[in-house]
Amino acid sequence: MSKKDNIPYKIYLSEQESPKAWYNVRAEMKTAHRPILHPGTHKPVTEEDLRPVFCDELVKQELNDKDSFIEIPASIRDFYKMYRPSPLVRARFLEQALQTPARIYYKYEGGNTSGSHKLNSAIAQAYYAKAQGLKGVTTETGAGQWGTALSMACGYFDLDCRVYMVKVSAEQKPYRKIVMETYGANVTPSPSDTTNIGRKMLADDPNTTGSLGCAISEAVEAAVSAEGYKYVLGSVLNQVLIHQSVIGLEAKAALERYDAYPDILIGCAGGGSNLGGLMAPFMADRLAGKKSPRFIAVEPASCPSMTRGRFAYDFCDTGMVTPLAKMYTLGASFIPASNHAGGLRYHGMSPILSQLYHDGYLDEARAVGQRSVFEAAGLFAKVEGLLPAPESAHAIRVTIDEALKCRESGEEKTILFGLTGTGYFDLAAYAQYNDGTMEDYIPTDADLARGFAGLPDVSDAE
C-alpha cells in the first residue's frame, strides 16, 4: 500500500509542528501589485499616511513586500494553541458519495466559537493594538464572523471593541450580535446616526439595508475621531493575507507527511483572505517553478468581482474615505441584490489576489449560483457531517464539480479546498433553500454598469 492510500481521515499536526512565522507571498510575486494610493492626492501611501488609521506594526506589514517570513509573536502562538493546528481532513465520505477517483482534502477552519478562519487575523490585529497601548479598535462586520472573531480577540486582550454591523445582517442574525456582546463588544447596526457618513447615508435613503462598504466608512470615521482607537479590517488587506497564511502552511505540512500535493486548490473568495492564506505556500512553489497546482477562486454569481469586475483603482469602502487599491472590483457603490444569502458580498478583491489573477498565476475565477451552492452544502452536510458556512459551500460546489470531472476522465487528482467555517448562524438562508423560496439573481450588465460608473478617475500608467 502506498503512503497515499494510508492517509487517516484527519491529519493533525502537533503543537511543535505549527508554524512559527507567517508567510508573505508578496515577497515572491513576479509583478508587485500596484501601490495603494492616498484618496486625496492619488500618490502612493506612505507609513505616515496609514498610521492614523492602522496600528504601527500592521502598517509595516501592509507595506512589506520584502520579507518572505514574518515571525509570529509568542502571545499569538499561545492563543493559536487553543484552536490550532486545525485538522486537514480527507473527505473520504464525499469521495464515496461522488464515486470519484479524486482524493479530496479540506482544511477545516470552523473549530472555534467565531466559526471561521477570521480569528487567525483578529488575534494578531488585537495583539498589535494592545502592544501599542491602544484603548480599543473599531471595525465593520457583514455576516458577523469577523465581528465575532474580533470580539473574542479583544476580550482576550482586554481591548474595547466597537463593531459596525451591516443593518440587514444585524436584523437577520440577532444571535451573532449577542455572541459579540457576550465577549464584551459594542455592536451598532450600520448605517447609524453615530457618524457623519452614516447620517448622510440615512438621509439619502432612510430604508437602506446597509452594505459592507458603508459599514467600513463608519468604522474608519469612528476610529480616526476617537483618541486611542484604530481601525481593523478582516479581509482584503495584505496584512490579513499574511496572518491567514497559517492555513496554507499547516495544510502543506500535513500533506507533506503523506507525500501528497494538490493538483487543484479551491477557495471561496469574498475579499480573498482565506484563499490567499491557503494558497500562499503553494503559490510560492508555483512562482519558483517547482510545482504547478491549479488555483481556483469561487465567487457568488450575484457578486462577481473577479469574473465580471474591472481591474481598476477603487475605494475600499462606499463612503470613499479609504485609500485606493488596484483590484478587481464591481465599484464601491455596488450592493448585491437583497435576495443574496450566501455571503462573499464585498465589491472588491485583495490586491494580491487580483494581481496574481491578472498575471495568470491564480488560474481561474468561477462564479456559481446560490441555489447550486446550497445544494452542495446539503450534500456535504449529509455525508461529511459538518454544516458548512454558505461562503465555504462555494468552494464545496466547485470541488464537487471538479471531482465529478475526475469521475468522467478517471483521473486521480488531488483536490484541496478551504472549509472556512460553520453555518449555524446562516439558518435563515438554509431555510430559504429548504422551503424553495431561494432565488438566484445574476446582475445584468446594466446593474454592473452603475457600479463601474462610480469608479474614481485615476491615471495609472502601468
Ligand X SMILES: *Cc1c(COP(=O)(O)O)cnc(C)c1O
Residue ranges binding ligand X (CB under 6 A) = 116, 118, 145, 235, 268-274, 344, 389, 391-392, 420-421
b/e per residue 172-189 (b: at least 16 CB within 10 A): bbeebbebbeebebebbb
CA 106/CA 262 separation, integer angstroms: 11
Rg from Cα positions in the chain: 21
Q: Which is nearer to ligand X, 75 or 372 (by Cβ)?
A: 372
Closest approach of Cβ 429 to ligand X, in Å? 13
Closest approach of Cβ 316 to ligand X, in Å? 13
Closest approach of Cβ 356 to ligand X, in Å? 14
What contacts 438, CB < 8 A, 6 or more positions away?
Answer: 339, 341, 370, 371, 374, 429, 432
Query: Residue 160 class from Cβ within 10 Å (0-12 exposed, 13-18 middle, 19+ buried)?
Result: middle
Closest approach of Cβ 409 to ligand X, in Å? 29
Q: Contact at 8 Å (CB) between 277 and 47?
A: no
b/e per residue 237-268 (b: at least 16 CB within 10 A): bbbbbbbbbbbbbbbbbbbeebebebbbbbbb
CA 119/CA 156 separation, integer angstroms: 12
3-class state of residue 138 by DSSP? strand
Q: Which is nearer to ligand X, 271 or 331 (by Cβ)?
A: 271
Q: What cell does 96 get?
A: 464515496
Closest approach of Cβ 40 to ligand X, in Å? 27
Positive or negative torsion for Cα 232, 236, 238, 239: positive
If one counts every other C-beta atom within 10 angstroms of the C-beta of residue 338, the result is: 9
Closest approach of Cβ 234 to ligand X, in Å? 7
Closest approach of Cβ 272 to ligand X, in Å? 5
Q: Which is nearer to ligand X, 134 or 352 (by Cβ)?
A: 352
Closest approach of Cβ 193 to ligand X, in Å? 27
3-class state of residue 53 by DSSP? coil
Q: Which is nearer to ligand X, 141 or 414 (by Cβ)?
A: 141
Residue facing ligand X at closest CB distance: 421
Q: Which is nearer to ligand X, 85 or 272 (by Cβ)?
A: 272
Q: Which is nearer to ligand X, 25 or 406 (by Cβ)?
A: 25
Q: Which is nearer to ligand X, 258 or 417 (by Cβ)?
A: 417
Closest approach of Cβ 365 to ligand X, in Å? 12
If one counts every other C-beta atom within 10 angstroms of the C-beta of residue 59, the result is: 22
Q: Which is nearer to ligand X, 195 or 239 (by Cβ)?
A: 239
Q: Which is nearer to ligand X, 248 or 271 (by Cβ)?
A: 271
Query: Residue 60 class from Cβ within 10 Å (0-12 exposed, 13-18 middle, 19+ buried)?
Result: middle
3-class state of residue 30 by DSSP? coil
